[in-house]
Structures are given as C-alpha cells and as structure tokens.
C-alpha cells in the first residue's frame, strides 16, 4: 500500500469526521434549549420587554422556526464566519473571542511544552530506573497528578510560589511577551500537571515494553552505544502509543483551561466560556462550545493521520483490512 | 496424593499465601474510612457550627479556638471542612455505582450479544468520547441549574460511556473461555449465562474501576462546585470553599490549603485503592 492507500485512509477518516462534526454542532446548538424558562426572556438581556423587542428577538434568532431549521440557519451563518452577537453589550462574538484567544493559546503552548518534556522525560527516567525509589516516586507523582484537578494544584502553586516565595505574580496575564510568560508560568504548570501524569504513565509503560524486546538485546549484543539504542531504537518505537495519547493531552488542556483561567483570574477563552455559562449568554455559549468541539474533532483527526504516517506497521498492514 | 505434596512444598505455600496490601494502600483505606466517619458523624466532631457567621470577627488565622482559622464571614473553616466530607463522598459514590450499574448492563449486552446491539451501543460510546465532556457538563449544569444533584446526574451519564467500554472488553475476554461454551452446550439461557456465569467473572474489574471512578467523580464534582455550579451557595463543600476563600490567600491560607489538601488526599487514596484492587483482582 503506497500513497494512494494513505489518501484513501484520510478520505475515509474524513467521511467519519464530517458527520461527527455536524452531529456535535447540533448537540451544541440544542444544548442551550435545555435552559428552563422562555429563551426570549434570556436572549432579551437587559432590554425592555415590549411586544416589539420580543418579536424582534424571535425574528433574529429564528425562534418561530422548528429547531432543525433554526439549526440550519445558525450553522449556515457560522460557516460564513458569523458567530452572532453577545447578549451582553451586543458585541460581535467573533471579535470577543479574538481578543480572548491569545492568552489561552499562549497558556496551552507553554503547558504542552511542559507536558511533553516533563511527561516523556520523567516516564523514561522511571522506565530506566525500574523498581528503584526514583521509579516509585515518579509513579506516585503520576497518581497524585491524576487525582489533582488543575484548580487545586493552582491553589497550591499560588500559595507556595506567589505568597510564600513571591517568585511569581498571583493573578492577571501580563503585557508583552516576557511579562506574559512570567505571569503564565504558574497557570501553565497547574494546567499541565494532571495531563502530564497521563503521559508519564503511558511513556513508562511503553518504554518498559520496548526495552524487553528482542531487537534491544540484539542491538546490545552488536555493541551499539546504549545512548544510541535509546534514541534511535527504543524511543522511536515507544513514541507511537504516546502520540495516540496526544488527543487526550489536547482535550485535557483545552478543558482544563476553563478551571485554570478562573483560578488565576486570566482573561482568556476558557474564562470567557465560563462567563458565558454563568451569565446564560446563549449565543456565546453556542459559539464557544462549537469552537471547543471543532478543536477536539480536528485534533483527533490529525492525530489519527500522523499516527498512520509514523507507524509503517499500520501504514502497510492494518489499514488495508 | 499430589495435592498433599503440593501443600507441603514451601514454595507452593508461599505462592498460596494471600499477598497483603502494601502499607500505602492500608494508609489510603484508613484515610477513606476516616473521611467516611467524619461525613457520617460530622455534628459530633465539629468544634463550631459550620454555618455560624461572626462578621465582627471576620478573617482570622490559625488559633487554638479555630484550628484552621475563619473565613470572611467569620465561619470556622475546620468545622466547614469536616461538614464538607458529606458532599465529597455521597455524590461520587452515587456517580460511580450508578454509572457502573448502567455500564454493566450495556457492556454485558454489547460484549455477549455482539451484532447490531454491540454496534449500536459502541457507536454511542464512540460519540460520547468525541464530545468535549468537561465543557458540556459545565454547560448543562450551568444552564439547567439545580446544583449538586443535577451535577451528580449529568456526571453519571457521562461516566457510563467509558465504563461500558471497560465492561465490554472484560466480557469479550470471558466469551471464548470453555466455561461459557460449556454453559451454552448445557442449554442454559442467555440471561442465565450472562448474569450467573459471566457477570461474577467480570465483577472484579468493575469493582476496581468503581474505586477509580469515585476518585474522578470527586474531582469533577469539586470542580463544578468550585465554579459555583455544584452545591448551593453557603453549603460547606471542599470545592466551593476554594472559590469562596480565594481572598484568604494572603490573610488565612489555611482556609484554602485544608480543603484543597482534602480533595487531593481523598482522590489519591481512592486511586491507590483502585489501582491495587485492579492488580490484586485481575491477575
């Protein structure tokens, strides 16, 4: 199976992803219909409730149409780049999101770096020192990480590094690159801790798995330097399961950003989502949830494709079936 | 004869001896027991009424009278943490056991019957996995309202899909085993094979995951309460205390560190117990 096979795989994967996206976007759209009470009243916000304004709201949000037609009209304008307007302040949702996205992307990038470097590094360390105190400490760190929500870790970090040691600021996102980096160090660690725990666990298991295989014994017998065996042989194979977990990492970071941004009073996309829920800002909830879902589905699609590209066994074998 | 020989063999006897729980797991179990005792007998343990406000007193640090100080409303934080044990245990117990009750039914059906039943159930599971769960839970609990019990219900629903996958794969491991063939050859009904023969064999896996689910449910419920979507305002709850006492970071950090520590320690303990049960019961 050559290039054509990969293309076929990508097309087949797209054939699943697109209906999935449509289904998820419908769930996201319909979710706000769960809100008790008359949606017109909620959408009205602080405007006076005259018959005219109520009718205008019904007209604008197509509330007189059946739900499926409402969904169709909504998704059509979303596809044209129009996410609607916020109830509060009547600002365009796309411009609100644009102003809040950069903090979240900065935070996610820092956290992803911590997760990858820390998670793979510690997982490898534990695998090399199997059954030693280092291994036990790393495994324990993993258990604590999985059990610790980001906002709890955030509180501990705030206290230790913000109050006791006073190394880092305790709130806000800072201006300019360096200042922002400085402000986001604690949030990034809080966000990455539990996700890193998953990567540690997977890396350790997958390294131990590979280290026991025959090709490692053979490489050793040939007298290849241990560092080369690790970097060129073991790590390359051990990375395959780690990449599969990249989807988990991304979903964990995206969802965790809601908690972390609230904990550290950061004005990002995560806290925007929370403010939308708190203020029952229905159009804003739909928009943020849709963006979240698209990120998750697209990321998983890309990971599946990367996975096939890096693992020849999958490329030449399993996909063909 | 061979049996008698085997029992005299010191090696065999050593293998036969039940492996005792490591000290860490025992410590975890006693901690959970302690939290449970606190939750049930909270009124006997607390030095102060957890809801009693003393605005004149306001925020105070750690003292002999208030072991973890007081919050902005002058309420005793130590007593509130003890009362918080109830919501920290009840919700997760319901979520973990209810989710697995449903998941066991679905997993048994999917794994044993196969065919279109399996396909239908597993497509639904796949779909649930594709949803950004944390976000959708926050949205539903946030706009439906209803606080703690809505949160418990929605979390239960979202826990069913991953649990179903676990039960199903455990059933799939059992299905090709000779005892299932034997039962089928004897003409036992499908329900009897499923519930009397297969279920007891997958129960250990389920039990281990119930403990792990409990830890996840605890963390998730605390998170929703932290966002103000779980327990109602004023209720003593570990998650809620973290957002209510956010302003105590400089004046009385114990008001934040104690509930935060309780969340982590309880969740770590349940995870350790779950991991140990998994090792112990499935190998």
Q: Per-residue pLDDT tens for A85-111?
A: 777 777 888 888 888 888 888 899 899
Long-range contacts of residues B175-183, Cβ cutoff 8 Å, at least 24 apart: B175/B111, B175/B112
C-alpha dihedral (A294, A299, A302, A306), degrees to nearest 10: -170
Contact A104, A187 (CB under 8 A): no
**pLDDT given at position A192:** 92
- Evaluate whether residue A316 is within a structural domain: no
Cβ-defined contact of B140 to A31 (cutoff 8 Å): yes
Between B9 and B159, residue with greater pLDDT = B159
**pLDDT given at position A318:** 52
A57 & A188 share domain: no
Among A76, A74, A108, smallest CA distance to A285 is for: A74
Tens digit of each residue's pLDDT (9 = 90 or more) over A39-50: 777 777 666 777
Q: Is the pLDDT of residue A18 over 50?
A: yes
Q: Which domain holds residue A104?
A: 100-310
**pLDDT given at position B233:** 79
**B267 in A contact zone (CB under 8 Å):** yes
Q: How far is CA A165 from the centre of its chain?
A: 31
Q: How far apart are CA A273 and CA A38, in angstroms?
A: 22
Average pLDDT taken over every residue of chain B: 83
Contact B127, A23 (CB under 8 A): yes
Cβ-defined contact of A258 to B134 (cutoff 8 Å): yes
A251 & A125 share domain: yes
- Evaluate whether residue A90 is within a structural domain: no
- Evaluate whether residue B206 is within a structural domain: yes
Judged by average pLDDT, the poorest of A2-6, A310-314, B82-86, B201-205 is A2-6
Cα–Cα distances (Å) from A159 to A100, A111, B74, B167, B236, in that order, read: 26, 20, 21, 42, 22
Contact B226, B243 (CB under 8 A): yes
Domain count, chain A: 2
Give the number of C-alpha atoms closer than 13 A to the C-alpha of residue A32, restricted to the C-beta side: 29
Which of A79, A112, A127 finishes a domain? A79
B267 CB neighbours in chain A (<8 A) are 147-148
Among A98, A73, A251, smallest CA distance to B133 is for: A251
Cβ-defined contact of A293 to B275 (cutoff 8 Å): no
Q: Which residues lie across from A92 on neighbouring strands?
A: A85
**B226 in A contact zone (CB under 8 Å):** yes
Spatial neighbors of A196 by CB under 8 A, at least 6 apart, are A114, A115, A118, A119, A122, A145
Q: How far apart are CA A74 and CA A78, in angstroms?
A: 6
Q: How far apart are CA B31 and CA B215, in angstroms?
A: 14
Q: B2 falls in which pLDDT band (50, 70, 90)? A: very low
- Evaluate whether residue A1 is within a structural domain: no
A280 CB neighbours in chain B (<8 A) are 142-143
Contact A231, A64 (CB under 8 A): no
Contact A250, A296 (CB under 8 A): yes
Tens digit of each residue's pLDDT (9 = 90 or more) over A215-239: 888 888 888 888 888 888 888 888 8
B256 CB neighbours in chain A (<8 A) are 155, 159
**Two tokens at B99?**
């989710």
**pLDDT given at position B60:** 74
ipTM of the complex: 0.83
**B81 in A contact zone (CB under 8 Å):** no
Tens digit of each residue's pLDDT (9 = 90 or more) over B39-74: 888 778 777 777 777 777 777 777 767 777 777 777
pTM of the complete model: 0.85
**A221 in B contact zone (CB under 8 Å):** no
A75 & A164 share domain: no
**A155 in B contact zone (CB under 8 Å):** yes
Cβ-defined contact of B249 to A162 (cutoff 8 Å): yes
Cβ-defined contact of A273 to B133 (cutoff 8 Å): no
**pLDDT given at position B214:** 92
**pLDDT given at position A315:** 61
B219 CB neighbours in chain A (<8 A) are 147-149
User: By three-state DSSP, how is residue B114 classified?
Assistant: coil
**pLDDT given at position B160:** 93
CATH code of residue B144: 1.10.3720.10
The values of phi and psi at residue B102, to 5°, are -65, -45
**B151 in A contact zone (CB under 8 Å):** no
Q: Is the dihedral of CA B98, B99, B102, B105 positive or negative?
A: negative
**pLDDT given at position A306:** 81
What does the pLDDT average to over B13-35? Answer: 75
- Evaluate whether residue A75 is within a structural domain: yes
**A35 in B contact zone (CB under 8 Å):** yes
Q: How far apart are CA A144 and CA B267, in angstroms?
A: 8
B127 CB neighbours in chain A (<8 A) are 20, 23
Q: B93 falls in which pLDDT band (50, 70, 90)? A: very high
- Closest residue to B222, CB basis, from A146, A149, A273: A149
What does the pLDDT average to over B178-196? Answer: 89
Tens digit of each residue's pLDDT (9 = 90 or more) over A116-146: 899 999 998 998 888 888 888 898 898 898 8
Would you tell me the crossing angle of helices B254-282 and B199-226 to the nearest 10 degrees? 170
Q: How far apart are CA B170 and CA B58, in angstroms?
A: 55
Q: Which domain holds residue B215?
A: 86-240+263-281
Q: Is the pLDDT of residue A267 over 50?
A: yes
Q: Which residues lie across from A85 on neighbouring strands?
A: A92
A285 CB neighbours in chain B (<8 A) are 139, 143
Q: B97 falls in which pLDDT band (50, 70, 90)? A: very high
- Evaluate whether residue B57 is within a structural domain: no
**B275 in A contact zone (CB under 8 Å):** yes
What does the pLDDT average to over B194-214? Answer: 90
- Evaluate whether residue A7 is within a structural domain: no
**pLDDT given at position A40:** 73
Shortest Cα distance, chain B CAs vs residue A228, angstroms: 34
**A38 in B contact zone (CB under 8 Å):** no
Among B121, B272, B108, B271, smallest CA distance to B203 is for: B108
- Evaluate whether residue B136 is within a structural domain: yes
**A162 in B contact zone (CB under 8 Å):** yes
A189 & A268 share domain: yes
- Evaluate whether residue B46 is within a structural domain: no
Cβ-defined contact of A159 to B257 (cutoff 8 Å): yes
Long-range contacts of residues B175-179, Cβ cutoff 8 Å, at least 24 apart: B175/B111, B175/B112
**pLDDT given at position B76:** 80
A71 & A137 share domain: no
Q: Which residues of A231-314 form beta strands (DSSP E)?
A: none
Which of A237-241, B76-80, B238-242 ranks highest by mean pLDDT?
B238-242
- Closest residue to A34, CB basis, from B144, B242, B257: B144
User: By three-state DSSP, how is residue A212 classified?
Assistant: coil
Q: Is the pLDDT of residue B4 over 60?
A: no
Q: Is the pLDDT of residue B16 over 60?
A: no
**B51 in A contact zone (CB under 8 Å):** no
Which of A21, A48, A79 finishes a domain? A79
Q: What is the DSSP letter of B18?
A: P
Q: B10 falls in which pLDDT band (50, 70, 90)? A: very low
Cβ-defined contact of B135 to A34 (cutoff 8 Å): no
Tens digit of each residue's pLDDT (9 = 90 or more) over A205-215: 888 888 888 88
A208 & A253 share domain: yes
Helices and strands (DSSP H and E) totals, chain B: 13, 0
Shortest Cα distance, chain B CAs vs residue A34, angstroms: 6
Q: Count how many residues are written for chain B.
A: 283
- Evaluate whether residue A320 is within a structural domain: no
The values of phi and psi at residue B53, to 5°, are -95, 150
Cβ-defined contact of A149 to B144 (cutoff 8 Å): no
- Closest residue to A277, CB basis, from B139, B271, B275: B139
- Evaluate whether residue B249 is within a structural domain: no
Q: How far apart are CA B237 and CA B222, in angstroms?
A: 8
A139 & A29 share domain: no
Cβ-defined contact of B253 to A163 (cutoff 8 Å): yes
**pLDDT given at position A3:** 58
**Chain A with chain B: Cβ pairs closer than 8 A:** 119
A142 CB neighbours in chain B (<8 A) are none
**B136 in A contact zone (CB under 8 Å):** yes
Which of A79, A110, A129 finishes a domain? A79
**Two tokens at B149?**
């019990």
Q: Is the pLDDT of residue A319 over 60?
A: no
Domain count, chain B: 1
**pLDDT given at position A132:** 87
Q: Is the pLDDT of residue B224 over 50?
A: yes
Q: Is the pLDDT of residue A281 over 80?
A: yes
Contact B135, A292 (CB under 8 A): yes
A53 & A117 share domain: no
CATH code of residue A189: 1.10.3720.10
Mutate to test the interface with A, among B32, B131, B225, B247 (most CBs of A within 10 A): B131
- Evaluate whether residue B26 is within a structural domain: no
A54 & A151 share domain: no
Q: How far is CA A210 from the centre of its chain?
A: 28
- Evaluate whether residue B75 is within a structural domain: no
Cα–Cα distances (Å) from A277 to A16, A202, A260, A272, in that order, read: 30, 34, 16, 9
- Evaluate whether residue A58 is within a structural domain: yes
**B130 in A contact zone (CB under 8 Å):** yes
- Evaluate whether residue B36 is within a structural domain: no
């Amino acid at each position: 199976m050559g290039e054509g096979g990969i293309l076929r795989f990508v097309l087949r994967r797209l054939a699943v992803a697109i209906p999935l996206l449509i289904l998820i976007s419908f769930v996201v759209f319909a979710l706000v219909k769960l809100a008790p009470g008359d949606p017109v009243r909620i959408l009205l916000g602080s405007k006076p409730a005259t018959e005219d304004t109520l009718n205008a709201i019904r007209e604008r949000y197509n509330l007189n149409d059946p739900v499926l037609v409402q969904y169709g009209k909504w998704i059509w304008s979303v596809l044209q780049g129009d996410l609607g307007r916020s109830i509060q302040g009547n600002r365009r949702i796309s411009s609100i999101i644009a102003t809040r996205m950069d903090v979240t992307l900065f935070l996610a990038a820092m956290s992803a770096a911590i997760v990858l470097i820390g998670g793979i590094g510690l997982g490898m360390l534990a695998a090399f020192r199997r059954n030693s105190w280092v291994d036990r400490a790393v495994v324990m760190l993993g258990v604590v990480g999985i059990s610790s929500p980001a906002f709890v870790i955030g509180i501990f970090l705030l206290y230790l590094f913000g109050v006791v040691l006073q190394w880092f600021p305790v709130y806000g996102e800072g201006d300019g690159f360096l200042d922002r980096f400085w402000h986001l160090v604690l949030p990034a660690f809080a966000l990455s801790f539990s996700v890193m725990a998953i990567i540690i666990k997977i890396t350790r298991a997958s390294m131990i798995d590979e280290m026991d295989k025959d090709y490692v014994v053979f490489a050793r017998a040939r007298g290849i330097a241990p560092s080369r065996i690790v970097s060129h042989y073991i790590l390359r194979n051990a990375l395959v399961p780690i990449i599969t977990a990249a989807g988990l990492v991304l979903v964990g970071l995206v969802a965790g950003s809601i908690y972390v941004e609230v904990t550290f009073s950061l004005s990002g996309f995560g806290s925007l989502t929370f403010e939308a829920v708190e203020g029952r800002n229905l159009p804003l909830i739909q928009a943020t949830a849709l963006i979240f879902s698209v990120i998750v589905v697209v990321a998983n699609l890309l990971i599946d494709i990367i996975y096939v590209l890096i693992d020849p066994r999958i490329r030449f074998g399993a996909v063909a079936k | 004869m061979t049996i008698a020989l085997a029992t005299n063999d010191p090696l065999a006897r050593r293998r036969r001896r039940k492996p005792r729980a490591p000290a860490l797991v025992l410590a975890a179990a006693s901690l959970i027991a302690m939290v449970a005792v606190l939750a049930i007998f909270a009124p006997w343990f607390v030095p102060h009424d957890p809801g009693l406000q003393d605005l004149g007193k306001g925020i105070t640090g750690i003292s002999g009278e208030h072991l973890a100080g007081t919050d902005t409303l002058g309420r005793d934080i130590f007593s509130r943490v003890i009362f918080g044990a109830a919501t920290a245990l009840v919700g997760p117990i319901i979520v973990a056991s209810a989710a697995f009750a449903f998941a066991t039914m679905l997993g048994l059906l999917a794994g044993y019957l196969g065919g279109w039943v399996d396909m239908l159930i597993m497509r639904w599971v796949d779909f649930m996995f594709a949803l950004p769960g944390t976000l959708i839970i926050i949205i539903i609990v946030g706009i439906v309202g209803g606080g703690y019990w809505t949160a418990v219900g929605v979390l239960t629903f979202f826990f069913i899909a991953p649990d179903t996958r676990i039960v199903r794969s455990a059933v799939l491991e059992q299905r090709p085993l000779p005892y299932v063939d034997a039962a089928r050859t004897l003409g036992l009904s499908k329900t009897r094979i499923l519930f009397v023969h297969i279920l007891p064999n997958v129960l250990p896996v389920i039990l281990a995951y119930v403990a792990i689910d409990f830890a996840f449910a605890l963390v998730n419920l605390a998170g929703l309460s932290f966002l103000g979507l779980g327990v109602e305002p004023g209720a003593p709850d570990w998650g809620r205390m973290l957002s209510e006492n956010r302003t105590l970071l400089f004046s009385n950090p114990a008001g934040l560190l104690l509930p935060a520590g309780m969340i982590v320690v309880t969740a770590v303990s349940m995870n350790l117990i779950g991991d140990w049960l998994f090792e112990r019961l499935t190998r």
